[in-house]
Structure 1
Amino acid sequence: MKRIGLFLATNLAILIVLGIILNITGANRFLTPQGLDIQTLLVFSAIIGFGGAFISLLLSKTIAKFSTGAKVIDPQAPANAREAWLVQTVRQLAERAKIGMPEVAIYEGAPNAFATGAFKNNSLVAVSTGLLQSMTEEEVTAVLGHEVAHVANGDMVTLTLIQGVLNTFVVFFARIVGYFVDRVLLKNERGLGIGYFAAVIVSEIVFGVLASIIVAWFSRQREFRADEGAARLMQSREPMIKALARLGGLTPGELPRSFEASGISGGGGVAALFATHPPIEQRIAALKSL
């Protein structure tokens, strides 16, 4: 229930902010007596597409902490030896990756880990209790290296930009299709008819599915890069190979969709085309081929 409430509250806040921006800029007035104003429609689509993606990115750390119940470790006063080791390990990896020290957190759950945040020098790296209990220190270090590599590679921002571009095209072309159906096929000459709204909804669903496939493909490529980054940070590919082999025998913990792509595993989806992570076997093979 907590995740559902946060999801609804976040989306409501995004809609309110975007609505204000659209009214101020006038980008929501793309339909004129002469037809569609393509330039205004493109501005409208970009505000919707990029606005939602970037607001979600800026809120990602807060959402991640709240939705997983992650407890951020005080680097100056860790509660125990395990927390002290985690902070020190992430600090060493961050220094090698030449990024600012991330916040380090632990959350209750099945084996998984994730990194999120809008900025390289202000990020969050979190691991689950299940992962800490299931892996050796060397394997956990490799997983932490994978997450730090995500931050160093700017994967969160990259995927946000990709999502923003695709969202823009989904919104833009859905309304083009809606206008065509309403005015050309149904011959409606009085404002926006039911044909427009129905066609926009169907088009957004279809185009959205296609966009999800593209985003998932990019996400899978970033996973290979993060695995390679972990190997470089540890100056050996073997720890990451061992960590992945261990993960292959575990049931990964579920992560909220907003930062699922930055986890260490999971995100299989209903088919391979929608998977945010490649199969473990492919990731291990890629590391062995380095």
Structure 2
Amino acid sequence: MRRIFYFIATNAAIMIVAGIIIQFLPAEYQTSDGRFLIIALVAGFGGSIVSLLMSKSMAKRAAGVYVIESPRNETEQWLLTTVARQAEQAGIGMPEVGIFETPDMNAFATGANKNNALVAVSTGLLHNMTRDEAEAVMGHEIAHVANGDMVTLALIQGVVNTFVLLLARALALAIDRDGRGIGYFVGFMAGQVVFGFLASIVVAFFSRRREYRADAGGAEYAGAHKMIAALEKLKQGQAGHLPDQLAAFGINSSVKSLFSTHPPLEERIAALKNR
């Protein structure tokens, strides 16, 4: 879930800046439907594309990922070997493999394309899961890369961004038709907040659907019994509270909500058992 958190956070920051910049455009750009549609498309898809391109470098910095270049021990060698085998199975280029420090069992994959990705696992996952379970988690993340989920999310986010800007403008013009007064500015910014909040439900829905596909990929690359065991282990480890930054972006989430990017673990386990 970390990959989604970094992507959405970057996208949100860019869209806030874009929304402010739009306020300084001449009034005719605010009131002309054709001109504003072009602005909305450029700003909407521009935010999501920049977020996608920055996703890997941002994730490395934010999570403190140590990228394995020369394995320092047997565990790091096993990680590289396992990811290489799964990447070959999936028909993608070898991703960078990294480790980040946290006691929580988590992992993520990110990157702008299938042949230049990053797969990272937490120290908590390595310490608390068996090799079979960890293998399945990495298979799940490799499936995200192979399925092009980050690109798909970027396209969905671009469409959503565009509609948020158009709806925010409609609200602003309903308050101030001339597009020149403080009412337009306040309406436009408030509209971005309200419609952006509602749009996050749409993005979360598509994200949840992609998780089932990634689970199926993990089952294919590592074995269904290993993927089920990994999800069961994650379920057992949820007695404690996950930090907010992990609640939006790892493999580990049990919250059932319209805004949740992952389905509850019980539903994911049931889906694998019923395949």
2:274 partner letter = S
Quote the sequence identity (%). 52
2:72 aligned with 1:79: yes
- Supply the distance in 2 between the matched residues of 1:70 and 1:32 (Cα, whole angstroms): 47
C-alpha distance in 2, partners of 1:58/1:255? 24
1:151-176 C-alpha deviation (Å, 9 max, x unpaired) = 00000110111011001110111012
Of 74, 94, 97, the match for 2:90: 97
Question: Could you tell me whether the CA contact under 8 Å between 2:248 and 2:260 is conserved in 1?
Answer: no
Q: How many residues align?
A: 265
**Residue 135 of structure 1 corresponds to which residue in structure 2?**
129
| Partner amino acid, structure 2, of 1:32 | E
SS in 2 for 1:111: coil
Matched AA of 1:278: P
One-letter identity of the residue aligned with 2:234: L
Q: Is the 8 A contact 2:254 2:264 kept in 1?
A: no
Partners of 2:147 and 2:213 in 1: how far apart? 8
Please, which runs of 5 or more residues in structure 2 have no aligned partner?
Answer: 1-5
TM-superposed CA distance for 1:31, in Å, is 3.1
User: Is the contact between residue 220 and residue 277 of structure 1 (CA under 8 Å) also seen in structure 2?
Assistant: yes
User: 2:271 maps to what in 1?
Assistant: 286
Structure 2 matches for 1:37-52, cutoff 5 A?
37-52=32-47
Following TM superposition, by how much is the alpha carbon of 1:201 offset from its aligned partner in structure 2, in angstroms? Answer: 2.2
Shift of 1:64: 0.7
Which letter does structure 1 place at the counterpart of 2:65?
Answer: A
Task: Indicate conservation of the 8 Å contact 1:111/1:253, yes or no.
Answer: no
1:1-290 superposed matches below 5 A: 14=14, 29=25, 31-32=27-28, 36-74=31-69, 77-109=70-102, 110-183=104-177, 192-234=180-222, 236-251=223-238, 254=243, 256=245, 260-261=248-249, 263-266=250-253, 268=255, 272-290=257-275
Secondary structure of 1:82 counterpart: helix
Q: Deviations over 1:37-87 (max 9, x none)?
A: 11110111112211111111111111111111110001xx21110000000
Taking a change above 3 Å as real, the CA distance of residues 13 and 194 of structure 1, as seen in their structure-2 partners, is closer
Mapped partners of 1:255, 1:146: distance in 2: 22
What is the letter of the counterpart of residue 37 of structure 1?
A: S
SS at match of 1:273: coil
The amino acid of 2:63's aligned partner reads T
Larger gyration radius, structure 1 or structure 2? 1
> TM-score when scaled to structure 2?
0.87
Higher RCO (Cα < 8 Å, 6 or more apart): 2
Asked if the contact 2:235–2:254 (Cα under 8 Å) also holds between the matched residues in 1, the reply is no
The two structures, once aligned, show a CA RMSD in angstroms of: 2.9
Scaled by the length of structure 1, the TM-score of the pair is 0.83
